[in-house]
Structure formats: structure tokens, C-alpha cells
Structure 1
Amino acid sequence: MESQERKRYIRQITLPEMGLAGQEKLKASKVLVIGAGGLGCPVLQYLTAAGVGTIGIVDDDTVDLTNLHRQILYSNADVGQQKAVTAVSKLSAMNPLVNLIPFPVRLDENNASEMISGFDLVIDGSDNFPTRYIANDHCVALNKPLIFGSILRFEGQVSVFNYRGGPTYRCLFPDAEEGDNCEVAGVMGILPGIIGSYMANEAIKVICEIGEILSGQLLIINTLTNQTNIFRFSRNFDSSLNHAGHILPQKQHQDADPQQLLFSDFEKRIESDPDHIFLVDVREEYEFEEDFIGGVNIPLPDLPGKLTTMPADKTVVFYCRSGVRSLMASQLLNKNHFAGRSYWMKEDK
């Protein structure tokens, strides 16, 4: 490593967990970042500053004025410009030692395999479910670790999938069902900076083989309440590869999965037998108050300490609008060996 490189990264190299060997691993690594938006901006900035050798940037979008409160890589002068190309220009000025490759296209089934195969690690900062599943399935097929992050309103999530045979995105979210997005629900501008920094941190740990990796763990951070929680999950299905390169879940035991209850069926049950339904709304308090449907409010981060209060003589129904948090709540209750019956529920679209 050249003397100028050593000087640039000396504060990192000084760390005993990193050392020169860790910095050399960063230099030799190739990372593909999907999305150069709210999450992608801090990920790209920190990985570029850290000295990752090659970074690919996938994004077919252009900079919009509404992006600027959270996508801090861009300025007013960049409005209307291609994000991937603009990001490369900005990041090259930040660290000319990094090889930056723009891919001003949308990741899809036709280009995912070819694109991902040229990199060691993939970071998914996309904002839609189809892209997340495409990224996951092709990373599994190609045996590439996948760093995941998502944001909405004041809450963010981080995890690492397919790390050394660990759980995948489909293990945690088996069904591709669209929920709210930032355009509809809003997002605090600082939040993607926090979550993106965590994602970059996990990427560096994976590359340098240091620390505890968030594999089989979903980190949830609520910046409004300053609450953090980690939910643990496992690889709950064997996977196989079909001719198209998609990962297909194998048949599971019927009693292994939380059961979904349709909102329309819930309304019928609550009308006919209200005394035997225990509804738990796992959204945040402000969501519960804004869109009240009944029941008790136990936000998901608070649930682990309340599991023993779930009545085994009633049917427990967890609810949130998109179904993501209610599914996690039901999984958590099942793992606690709940003696009664429980369901997860979302708003019917």
C-alpha cells in the first residue's frame, strides 16, 4: 500500500481489529450498492471514504428537489441529473483512489445476475419490494452476502442476509406484499443517514471479517422514541435453484409458520365472538391514535417484555397496516411457546 494511502486511512489502520490487513481487504473488495437515494448516499460516502476498492452504483432515477432533505450527496445544481452518474462524480472528488462504476439502470431479472456476479458483496438500499426480492434471490443463487436496510417515518431496519449460509430476506419476509413507502408515509431526513451508516458499518465488518455480524438478526431503530431492538430469526426453509436462477422455498411444516387472518374475517369474528379475541396493535402510539381500529397498543419494540401478558385462553391477533410488524410479532410469540392461538393481520387493500 502506497504511503499516501496509509496516511489517508491511518486512523482506521490504527485500530487493532483492522490493521493494515483489514485495509488491504477493503482495497481488494468489490461492493455493489443498489440505490443511490436516502440510504445509498451515506453508504456510498462512508464506503468511499473508508477505501473500498471498487464500488458499483445501480440507480435509474434522477435527482428531484424532494430528495434533497435526506439524500445529502446531492445539491440544487444536481436536480434533474442521473443519480448514479452524479454520485460517481461527487464520490471521485471525495476519494480518487476508489474505482466507481455507474449503472444508470433499474435492477431487474434480466440484468441482476450479470451485475451481481462481478461483486463480492451487495448492499440493498432500494425502496420497493420487487427490487429487494430480486436482489435477495440472485445473491442466494450466486452465494453473495446481502446488506439490507429500510426506512419509514421515524423507524429503520438493518440486517445481513445470506452470510455464510445464514438466513435470507425470504426467511424473514416470505411474501412480497407492498406496504407504505416514504412518498406516502413520509420520512425524517436524518433517519436514512443513521440507517445507512449502520449498513456501511456492517459491510466493513463483513469485508474485514471483524465483529458480530447482523446475520439472523433484524435491528430496529425508532428515532422518535430512541428505542432499539433486535429480533432474531433463522433460516426457516431449505432453498433450491431453478433454471431461471430464482430461489424457491421448499414445503414447510404447517405448524411452523404464523397464520394470517384477513381483516374481513377478523371483523366477522369480532362481531360474532368479541370476548374471545385479543387484538394487539403493534404500531407506534401516534399511528394507533391516528388510525384507531380497537384493541390494545403495544408497539413492536415493547412486545418482548409483554409476551407473558398475552392471554392463552383467547385468540391473539396482531395488527399493523402493512403486515410486516404484525408478522414479526406473531413469530416472536410463537418462539416464546405461546400456549394459545395467534394470528397476524394487516389492512386489506
Structure 2
Amino acid sequence: MILSEKEALHFQHPIAVPGMGVSAQEKLKEARILVVGAGGLGSPVMQYLSASGIGVIGIADYGVINDEDMHRQPVYQMQDVRKHKAKMAASRLWAVNPYTKHYPILVQVKPETIGMMLVGFDLVIDCSQHTPTHLVLNDACIVHNKPFITGEVHNWQAWWGGFNMPLADGTTSASYRCALPLTETYRNFDAGAIGATHGATGMQIVCETLKYLLGVTGDIAGKLYGVDYLHNQRQVHDLVPDAEVLAATRAHGILTADDYGLEIVPDVED
């Protein structure tokens, strides 16, 4: 048995869910997930991944906590302001679930670092809400054969999807690049951010992630979900792999920061 007696007691309620049991909880404990971005979307994603019993969570973020962002980053407390997000997230998450290993990674996702950052992880969840970072991660996940989930929240609009994921027929789902024209339709550049829409989207991502890890359904692989929270409208898009796009990505591999339009920030002085 992988779970200790204390862990089995800690997770007794999810274990009791029909179809779950100890074996399902042990699958979650064996999972290694890299979460990129510990902000508005990353906060609920990290909180519920950790609370669910994921074995290892890497938290990649080089930024600090700001007072004006607290409304959508409830993993932090006011005394954490101006401290590093990744380090404080690891501390706060451990306080709720000490059975998960939380590793802060104070490194920017960029062409020079991404290969090292992916080592040992089974799945990448990109919560950066930053197109150049999405592209770096997408290309790296294709090169290193890692499944990739990402999404964004824009005011009342949100989308999320699963990319480069194994399908039942032995093929792999579409990449993020294949879905770029579709994701652009959900973009809203008006100012402002609502905490509840970030929280709702993050929990949807975690729910689909757990189902993916447990092999319950294929609802995230090859799908893109769009939500209009203001009007309670939801769309589900089936993503079709673009053979030319995928071939070009594999041929070119990981590009340069300039190619991605990625601004390189100085390394964090811890």
C-alpha cells in the first residue's frame, strides 16, 4: 500500500467516492505535475491539486505577491506581500496537505531553462495566461512528449484545454498551436480581473486533470472549453490536430526567446 495509515485517514472522504477507492488515491499520489504561474489561475489550481493528494507539485514562478492581486490569489495571506510567490505557495500548501511535496521553482520559463524544468514531471499545467509562455511550453512538451493543459481568464470569459495528450486510438491530441485561432476568439483585452472567474476556471481545470490522471474519461484530451460566466454559456470544441503545424513544431523544436516574443527577466536573487 502506497498510502500511509495517516494519509488514508486524511483522504478518507475522496476514497469513499464510488469508483475511487484507495487505488485511485494512490494514482494521484504517484502523479508529478508542474504548475507554471502561481497567480490568479495558478492559485486555485495549486490549492485543489494539493488538497486532492497529488504526490509532487512543482511551482514555477519568479514573481512576487502584490496587494492588488490578493482578491484572486487566495492561497496567500497579507503578510506574504512582496515575498516570492513560488516559495510562499509551497509553504501555504504544505500547511493544508503535508503529504504532497511542493517544490518552488524561482525560474522563468524560457528556451534555455524549459528542458531542465520538465524533468521528472508527468504533466504540465500552464497558468501563466501569457501567450509567449504558452508557446514555449507547448513546443517543449511536444519535443519531450509531455501532456499539456493551459487556459486563460479574461473578465467574464475563460477557456481551457488539453493538448499533446494521448488518445484512446493511440494518437496524440492537437497542440496549443493547432488551437491558436480558436483561443484568440476568447481573448478580451479590457482591463480588470475577477477573482471568482479565476477560481471557477481553476477548479474546472483541476477536476478535468483528476479525471485524466485516473483514466475516468477523456474529457480534457483534445477538447477546448469556453465559458461566458456573465451569461452562463458554455461551449465545448473538439480540437483537430493540424499535421503541418505539428510537423513544423517537431522540425524546429524549441525556438529562441525572440521568436516567441518572450521578454527575458533577470534571474531571481533568492
Which amino acid in 2 is paired with 1:100?
H
Quick check: 1:116 aligned with 2:123?
no
Q: Partners of 1:148 and 1:203 in 2: how far apart?
A: 11
Greater relative contact order structure (CA < 8 Å, 6+ sep): 2
Q: Name the counterpart of 2:228.
A: 222
Q: Name the counterpart of 2:179.
A: 172
Q: What is the TM-score normalised by the length of structure 1?
A: 0.66
Q: Deviations over 1:286-333 (max 9, x none)?
A: xxxxxxxxxxxxxxxxxxxxxxxxxxxxxxxxxxxxxxxxxxxxxxxx
Q: Name the counterpart of 1:339.
A: none
Q: Partners of 1:25 and 1:82 in 2: how far apart?
A: 31
Correspondence 1:67-106 to 2 at 5 A? 67-106=69-108
| Selected match of 2:238 from 232, 248, 251 | 232
The change in CA–CA distance for 1:231 and 1:244 in structure 2 (over 3 A counts) is closer
Q: What is the TM-score normalised by the length of structure 2?
A: 0.85
Q: How many residues align?
A: 244
TM-fit CA distance, 1:211: 2.1
The change in CA–CA distance for 1:201 and 1:176 in structure 2 (over 3 A counts) is closer
Q: Name the counterpart of 1:148.
A: 150
Q: Is the 8 A contact 2:60 2:106 kept in 1?
A: yes
SS in 1 for 2:226: strand
Q: Is the 8 A contact 2:94 2:102 kept in 1?
A: yes
Q: Deviations over 1:238-265 (max 9, x none)?
A: 424246545xxxxxxxxxxxxxxxxxxx
Q: Is the 8 A contact 2:173 2:239 kept in 1?
A: no
Identity of aligned residues (%): 35
Structure 2 gap ranges (5+): 167-171, 256-270
Q: Partners of 1:51 and 1:197 in 2: how far apart?
A: 15
Q: Is the 8 A contact 1:149 1:157 kept in 2?
A: yes
Q: Is the 8 A contact 1:156 1:221 kept in 2?
A: yes
TM-fit CA distance, 1:175: 10
Q: Name the counterpart of 2:169.
A: none
Q: Answer with 1 or 2: which has the greater Rg.
A: 1
Instruction: Between 236-245 and 91-100, report the one with greater CA deviation.
Output: 236-245
TM-fit CA distance, 1:65: 1.1
Q: Deviations over 1:205-235 (max 9, x none)?
A: 1211112322222111111111111122210
Q: Partners of 2:109 and 2:62 in 1: how far apart?
A: 9
TM-fit CA distance, 1:15: 2.2
| Selected match of 1:158 from 152, 157, 160 | 160
Which amino acid in 2 is paired with 1:33?
V
Q: Partners of 1:64 and 1:124 in 2: how far apart?
A: 20
TM-fit CA distance, 1:148: 1.3
Q: Is the 8 A contact 1:117 1:142 kept in 2?
A: no
Q: Name the counterpart of 1:197.
A: 203
Q: Partners of 1:22 and 1:147 in 2: how far apart?
A: 21
Which amino acid in 1 is paired with 2:44?
P
TM-fit CA distance, 1:196: 0.3
SS in 1 for 2:193: coil
SS in 1 for 2:72: coil
Q: Name the counterpart of 2:213.
A: 207
Q: Is the 8 A contact 2:157 2:188 kept in 1?
A: no
Q: Name the counterpart of 1:15.
A: 17
Q: Partners of 1:145 and 1:112 in 2: how far apart?
A: 14
Q: Name the counterpart of 1:137.
A: 139
Q: Partners of 2:231 and 2:124 in 1: how far apart?
A: 31
Q: Name the counterpart of 1:256.
A: none
